[in-house]
Chains A and B, each alone.
Chain A
Amino acid sequence: MSEAALHLPAVPPSRAGAQRVRGESLVVRCLLIAVSLAFLALFLLLPLVSVFVEAGARGFAAYQAAITEPDAVAAIQLTLLVASIAVPFNIVVGIAAAWAIAKFEFRGKNFLVSLIDLPFSVSPVISGLVFVLLFGAQGYFGAWLKANDVQIIFALPGLVLATVFVTFPFVARELIPHMQALGSADEEAALTLGASGWRVFFAITLPNVKWSLFYGVLLCNARAMGEFGAVAVVSGKIRGLTNTMPLHVEILYNEYMGAAAFAVASLLAGLALVTLALKSLLEWRYGDAIAASRRH
């Protein structure tokens, strides 16, 4: 659900209304607008609304019961825990990768850029499977891990790994074009003025890209909490232990507990809405700064 909401094409507010010259006739224009509105309503808005309608169908008490039930609470806690590990990790590594790509010339740079996009182009199921293949009982490192009593698959480390893999591109991809557009002159200026490397980073680089960074983190977090495919493969779906919210929703639904499923789903949909609202706010308030980072 959150994914569908997030991939709406974002129209930069500054460009709306700027085009005065239109070749199309009135009929064509109305038709195009009607078709897109109908599509949006049918495929995006309607499902979203239905989530909240279904969630509230049995009344507030049932809704509250569904999201305070121990397994649901465990799923919410696990989701927050996984996101709170995966997102900071991806922030640090994403900044490092973006920095390396934007500020330095080195062999294999183009390869690295393509590699960053890999998680976007690979099916999430496969992203999960590779970790099972590596760390599962029959995997390459399975025997060693078992001998040393380390559990990765069907446990928190596996969930974090799969989430990190799937959500890695968000931060780096927001930062790279922005940092490239900014160049290195500010950093060089700071260095000639006698600043240390850390001071250059925290006083110059980070403030310069803070909005793209925030934007990337927002998207990264939404995906980290909403990821289903990769996480489903490595989780094992042990209720109360390795079930994240999206997995919990699926289990409830498969057990014909529709209202409860939609109640938990409404939390995820709510996250999507909050993300969307923050993203719109950012674009409205800091459109120029973000525009630089949106030239993918």
Chain B
Amino acid sequence: MSVAVTIESIEKRFEAFAALRGVSLDIQPAELVALLGPSGSGKTTLLRLIAGLDQADRGRVLFGETDMRELSLRDRRIGFVFQHYALFKTMTVAENVAFGLNSRPRRERPDAAEIRRRVGDLLDLVQLPGLEKRYPSQLSGGQRQRVALARALAIEPRVLLLDEPFGALDAKVRKDLRAWLRDLHRRTGHTTVFVTHDQEEALELADRVAILNDGRLEQVGTPDDVYDHPASPFVCEFLGEANRLPVKVVGSQAFLGDRPVLGGLSQNQGGPASLYVRPQHLRIVDDAPLSLPGVVEHLRRNGPLRRAEVAVQGLQRRLDVDLASQVAPAIGERIRLRITHGSLFAAA
């Protein structure tokens, strides 16, 4: 049922604006892939190109072994869920879900009873049983989203494409739907690509995350991969907060000023560099060889975490430090910080 999607050096311009500048990506059958990036990075353009709603200037998209351009939009069997769902407002929920089946040529079309049964099954699957007769305007945002999904699933798609699936929903509904979508994917096993600008959503949902910036693919990998081993400063900063330290690498150690702050580096990255450290990778220690002295200037609450802003000599910006289970220091207290994990990029 589900099929591998191969994207080969896709390029796309809109007038003077280069939306995609050579993007290649292999998507495995039944994989759940997130296209993540800031607005204008080309992620929605890429999704529309995979669907065939737009044409690439260069490069191609393969479904399995078939070049997608050889297939008509109908034969591609794409389940596309639009950002604002694009439910047909003059039709009931049942008519919306049945639209794809009713659009088939007469000899391939199931009979009315069969279509009714399929619509019922799909509405059960998306946990909206009994809403057949409602109109889209009578549904909540989350319900509309699920109707849109049921409608896309009705054509037994080979690939499911979701454009900002949770973008128009409020925070609570988003979280519920995320878990639900993950579960649905596990049960139905469609090759799925979804676009999001929310890194938390991408990291939580996807098997692999593809990070786009300015029309280029910055990195593709599992959530752990991209989060812990970002390939570029952009990826590092986009995926979560990070403190940036201008360091100098000498031998296997990184120095802030003349103080060594991180050791155990491979030998081939000497010279000035930027060290990115996430707030949770700074730990308050009593004393250690590789540690950074500083003064606590602020304490804040950031959701479940407490966060300290620590001024360090030689750094203009204060360092953000998460105080997960640590004993909170007092404002004005002198502490020492140890970097447990960091990403080093040669200075540009």
Q: Chain A residues in contact with chain B, CB under 8 A?
A: 185-186, 188-196, 199, 203-204, 207-208
Contact assessment for A188 and B104 in the assembled complex, using a CB-CB cutoff below 8 Å: no
Chain A binding surface SS class: helix
Q: Which of B53, B86, B104 contacts A194 (CB 8 A)?
A: B104
> Are A193 and B99 neighbours in the complex by a CB distance under 8 Å?
yes
Size bracket of the B interface:
20 to 34
B188 within 8 A of A: no
Residues on A with C-beta less than 8 A from B155 are: 193-194
Q: Given the complex of chains A and B, what is the CA–CA distance between A191 and B82 in angstroms? A: 12
Known: A186-B88, A188-B53, A190-B88. A195 touches B82 (CB 8 A): no
* B80-A189 in contact (CB<8A): yes
- Contact across chains for B89 and A208 when beta carbons are under 8 A apart: yes
How far is it, in angstroms, between the C-alpha of A191 and the C-alpha of B73 when the chains are bound?
Answer: 7
B74 touches A194 (CB 8 A): yes
**Shortest distance between the CB of A180 and any CB in chain B (Å):** 16
A-B contact pairs, 6 of them (CB 8 A): A185-B82, A191-B53, A193-B155, A194-B104, A203-B99, A207-B90
Q: A192-B51, A193-B155 are in contact. Are A185 and B86 (CB under 8 A)?
A: yes
Give A40 to B287 CA distance when docked, in angstroms: 89
Q: Smallest CB-CB separation from B90: which chain A residue?
A: A207
- Contact (Cβ within 8 A) B103 A192: no
Given A193-B100, A193-B151, A188–B82 Cβ distance below 8 Å? yes
Which residues of B, 61-93, contact A by the 8 Å Cβ criterion?
A: 73-74, 76-80, 82, 84, 86, 88-90
- Chain A residues within 8 Å of B89, by CB: 208
Chain A residues, CB < 8 A from B99? 190, 193, 195, 203
| In the complex, per-residue mask of B29-55: 1 if CB is within 8 Å of any chain A CB, else 0 | 000000000000000000000010100
How many whole Å from A292's CB to the nearest CB in chain B?
A: 12
The smallest beta-carbon distance between A240 and chain B, in angstroms, is 46
CB distance from B138 to the nearest CB of A (A): 14
CB of A189 within 8 A of CB of B90, answer: no
Interface-central residue, A189, A199, A203, A204, by most chain B CB under 10 Å: A189
